Amino acid sequence: MKKTIAVLCCALLLVLGLPTGSVRAQTQDVVFAGAGDIARCGPDNLFYPQATAALLDSIPGSVFAIGDLAYVDGLETESNRCFDATCGRHRAAGDPTKGYYSFNYGAWHVVVLNSVCTLAPTLPGGCTATSPEGQWLQADLAANPTACTAALWHTPLYTSTSANATPAVQPFWQILYNGGADLVINGHAHNYERFAPQDPNGNLDAVNGIREFVVGTGGESLMSFGTTIAANSEVRNSTTHGVIQFTLHATSYDWQFIPVAGQTFTDSGTQACH
């Protein structure tokens, strides 16, 4: 049976709760697949959310959803009508009073963060290292010294869709970098972009850098990239809906972007953990 881990972690969404303990640590390779920016209410707007949900039905493993799950306002009524009708069958979440949590999955430690803190003072302390969330993240990484670590949240630090870049999450990147994290998965920009491993200041770092994926391709309308491509951007696509599938090994991971039926763009590769 497919495990479901919906990462309901950010702007304009409803955090729904199931105990994260339902995902238990394992030792074998595991699959982790999903996208963000999914369902807009309206009779003509659910084709692509339904198509990406169908992809997830066919992928064994666990599912994540990286924010903006129901448009326009993330209301409960919109979530019930639109997200539930598409990817909603693949949902769960952590403590709804916080919106951040972690779990072990296969050999990996997975951290889910709440980037609503970028809208400080919505949450106390913003996204800083001294905020409750920042302090929790540091303690969580120290308590879980796995070989491979992934982090998921909504708004990206790096994107070639410049209006969607979110410098306020840089402290999270710094904490993750200090803790040896390997992988960051974001949404918010409605396109697909893969970056080379970088440090928290945007410098190429093949030894200790974190690789970021932006996967805002879950069904909402897509957006083009800006005229200036962000440094260290390796692959971009703004015309294809779909999901990304990660296969998490003990000391590495593989990725594959899978397009919805009728579209052809894909991207794949492999990366060793630090």
Domains and CATH numbers, the chain: 3-272 (3.60.21.10)
Chain centroid to CA 130: 23
The mean predicted confidence, pLDDT, of the chain is: 83
Number of CB atoms found within 10 A of residue 76's CB: 10
Average pLDDT over residues 35-48: 73
Which pLDDT score is estimated for 121? 56
User: Is residue 174 helix, strand or coil?
Assistant: helix
- Tens of pLDDT, residues 58-107: 998 888 988 776 555 554 565 655 565 555 554 566 676 788 999 999 99
Number of CB atoms found within 10 A of residue 143's CB: 9
> pLDDT at residue 9 above 60?
no
| Residue 247, CA distances (Å) to 145, 218, 270 in order | 20, 19, 9
CB 244 within 8 A of CB 216: no
What's the number of CA atoms in the CB half-sphere (13 Å) around residue 5? Answer: 24
- Tens of pLDDT, residues 217-267: 988 889 999 899 999 999 999 999 999 999 999 999 999 999 999 999 999
**Tokens for 188?**
């918010």
Largest CA distance in the chain: 48
Which pLDDT score is estimated for 78? 58
> pLDDT at residue 22 above 50?
no
Poorest-pLDDT segment among 88-92, 170-174, 184-188, 205-209: 88-92
Is pLDDT larger for residue 110 or for residue 98? 110
Residue 10: pLDDT band by 50, 70, 90 thresholds?
very low
What's the pTM?
Answer: 0.87
* Rounded distance between C-alpha atoms, residue 90 and residue 57, angstroms: 9
> pLDDT at residue 47 above 90?
no
> pLDDT at residue 42 above 80?
no
Render 104-158 in DSSP notation, one character per residue: EEBTEEEEE--GGGGGTTSSTTTTSTTSHHHHHHHHHHHH---SEEEEE-SS-S-
Chain centroid to CA 58: 20
CB 250 within 8 A of CB 225: no
What percentage of the chain's residues is helix, strand, coil (to nearest 5)?
A: 20, 25, 50
Is pLDDT larger for residue 88 or for residue 167? 167
Is pLDDT larger for residue 50 or for residue 132? 132
Which pLDDT score is estimated for 54? 86
